[in-house]
Structure 1
Amino acid sequence: MTGFVETAQGVRIAYDREGSGPAVILVGGAGQFRAVDPGTRALTSELARRGYDVVHYDRPGRGDSGGEAPFTLEGEVAAVRALVEMVGGRASLFGSSSGGAIALAAAVAVAGVERLLLWEVPLGAEEGEDGAAFLAEIDALAASGDREATLRRFMAGMPPEWFEGMRNGPAWPMFERMAPSVRADAEALAWTQSAPRRRLWARVEVPVVVLLGAGAFPFFAEAADSMVASLGRAERAEVPGAGHGWEPADLAKALASHLSP
C-alpha cells in the first residue's frame, strides 16, 4: 500500500515500505520511479527478506509524488529528510546513479543518515565546469516546456537505445510527465563539482560504499575512485552487473553485507 509523507515545504512524497529492522531508503536515479522500476521494487523485497525496513519512494515530480517545477536539489534533500524522520530519525541511504549525488547531498545536510551505499554515480571531474554547463542546458530546455527534448538531452551520453526504448514504450506518458524533475539530477551532479570534494563532503563522516558492476563503464570507475579519495570512510566494492544494471538478488546481498555493523 502506498504511504505519503510531506516535506517541510508541503510537497507530498509517495512511498512503499516493506520489512522490519534497520531502515534503508532507496534514492532513485534520473529515470527511476515506482511505476516504471520493477528492479528497485524487487530490490525492496530482497532487502526486506534480509531483515531491513526498506522505503522505495517517488522523488518530487514523479509517479504519485507532488511538486512543481523548477525541481531542485534542495527539494530532493527535503524529501529524504522527511523520509528519515518518518522511519524514526535514522536510516541508511542507497543512491542509484544520479540518485547517489542526491544521497551525498542529503548526508551532508540531514541528521540521522547512518551509511551511504552508492551505485555507479556519474560524476564529472572534480571542480570541472561541465556539470554547470549541463545544468544550464537542462534549465533552458525545461523552461521551454519541451519535455521530450529535456529527456533526450539528459540521456545524450547514454546508449541511444535507452532513450528510444523509453520514448517508444507504453510508459512514455509517465516519463514525459516527470521530465522536468531531471533538472534536480543535473543540479546534484553540478553540485559535486562546485568545490574541492574533500571540503564539499567534509561533514559526511558515516561509512560509504561505492558500488560498481563488474562490467561498469570506465567513467563510473573514475568517479568511484574520486569518491573514495574524497570521503573519509569510503571503500569501493564490485557487484555482478553490466551496462549500469544489476540483478536485485545480487545487489541486495552486497548491500546487506555492507549494512551490517
Structure 2
Amino acid sequence: MEKVISKDGTTIAFDRLGEGPAIILVGGALSYRSHGKQVQLVELLAKHFTVINYDRRGRGDSSDTLPYAVDREIEDIEALIDEAGGSAFVYGMSSGAILALDVTNKLTNKIKKLVVFEPPLVPDNSRPPLPEDYVEQINEAIAAGNPSEAVDIFLTQAVLIPPEYLPALKEDPMWKDFNAVAHTLAYDGIIAKDVMAGKPLPPNKWSSATSPTLVISGGNSEKFFHDSAKAIINNLTDAKYHVLQGQGHDVAPEAIAPVLVEFLNGTGQSFVAATNKKS
C-alpha cells in the first residue's frame, strides 16, 4: 500500500501494480480497493498498464476530511495522477463514472483518455429519479448510528431493489463491508444528485471534457443506462459508445478488461461503427 496527501490534507491510500501507462480506477458507491472483482480487474489490467487502485476518501485505508465536496474528490484524483507522472487514463464505474466525468471536465489536460461504465444518470422519465431528500436521509441514518439503514435507503431508492429482497442480501458477508463505508453513500448522492433528477442534462454539462472518451453500457442492463450513455455522448466533443453484450451493471472483470485495453492502448476504431455522437 502507498499513500498520497490530497490538497486538503486527506490521506489517500492506493495500490500500484503493473507497468506501462498509468490508469486510475474510480469505484462507485460502496466500492473499495480490496473488493474481489476490483482486485481481479487490477490483475488483468496490470498486464498492460500501471494500475492505480485507490480507496476513495472515507473508505478503506484512506482518511476523510469534512465537510465533503465533490471538488475534494477531484483533488484526490489529481494527487494520484501527479503521483503517477502528471497524466493518466481514467476508468470510472457507476457513480464513480460521474465523478470521472467531473474530473475530466476539470482536468482534461491531465486525462489522456476516459472510459466510463454505466454512469447512472436519470435524464428522463425512464426510471424514478433520486428523491430530493436522498442525501439527507442517508446522513440522518448515519447520524443515528444506523449504517445498515443507510445501505437500505441506497438499495431501495437509488438502485431500486424491492424491499422484500433486503433480508436475503443482509445475510451476505459483504453486508458488513457495506456498512463500513455506508457514510460515503451521501458523497455519491451529492455527486449524482443533479444528473439523477429526471431532467435532461444541461447542454454544457461536461463541455470542457475534451479527452477521448468511451461510454459503455451492458447489453443486459436496464434501458435507462443506455439512455444515460446517449445523453453523455451528446454532450461530449470526442466520445464513442459501446454495448458490452452479455453484461449487466455488475460487469465481469474478464469482460470489461479487453475493452479497456483496446480503447486505451489502441485507436478505438472498432468502436466507431457502433457509435454516433448524435444517435
Same fold at TM > 0.5? yes
How far 1:115 sits from its partner (Å)?
1.4
Richer in helix (by share): 1
Query: What is the Cα deviation at residue 52 of structure 1?
Result: 0.9
Aligned to 1:147: 147
**What letter is aligned with 2:227?**
E
Whether the 8 Å CA contact 1:5–1:83 is kept in 2: the answer is: yes
CA RMSD of aligned residues (A): 2.5
Give 2:189's aligned residue. Answer: 186
1:96 aligns with 2:93: yes
CA spacing shift, 1:159–1:192, aligned 2, 3 Å: closer
CA separation in 1, counterparts of 2:131 and 2:41? 30
- Distance change (3 Å), C-alpha of 1:124 and 1:145: farther
Shift, 1:130, TM fit? 4.2
Say which SS state the counterpart of residue 172 (structure 2) adopts.
coil
Q: Which residue of 1 aligns with 2:76?
A: 79
Matching residue within 256, 260, 271 for 1:255:
260
The amino acid of 1:212's aligned partner reads S
1:238 to 243, 260, 279: 243
Tell me the residue number matched to 1:172.
Answer: 175
Aligned residues: 258
- 1:32 to partner: Cα distance: 1.0
Conserved 8 A contact 2:30-2:184: no
Rg bigger for which structure? 2
Specify the alignment match of 1:61 in structure 2.
58
Which residue of structure 1 aligns with residue 31 of structure 2?
Answer: 32
Q: Note if 1:14 corresponds to 2:19.
A: no
Of the structure 1 ranges 239-248 and 3-12, higher mean CA displacement relative to structure 2 is found in 239-248
Task: Give the distance between the partners of 1:102 and 1:7, measured in 2 at CA.
Answer: 16
Closer, same or farther in 2 for the Cα pair 1:192/1:17, shift >3 Å? same
Task: Give, in whole Å, the separation in 2 of the partners of 1:172 and 1:155.
Answer: 12
What is residue 110 of structure 2 aligned with on the other side? Answer: 112
What TM-score does the superposition give when structure 2 sets the normalisation length?
A: 0.83
Q: What is the identity, as a one-letter code, of the residue corresponding to 1:125? A: P
Report the counterpart of residue 4 of structure 1 in structure 2. Answer: 3
CA distance in 2 between partners of 1:170 and 1:145 (Å): 20
Q: CA deviation at 1:197?
A: 3.5
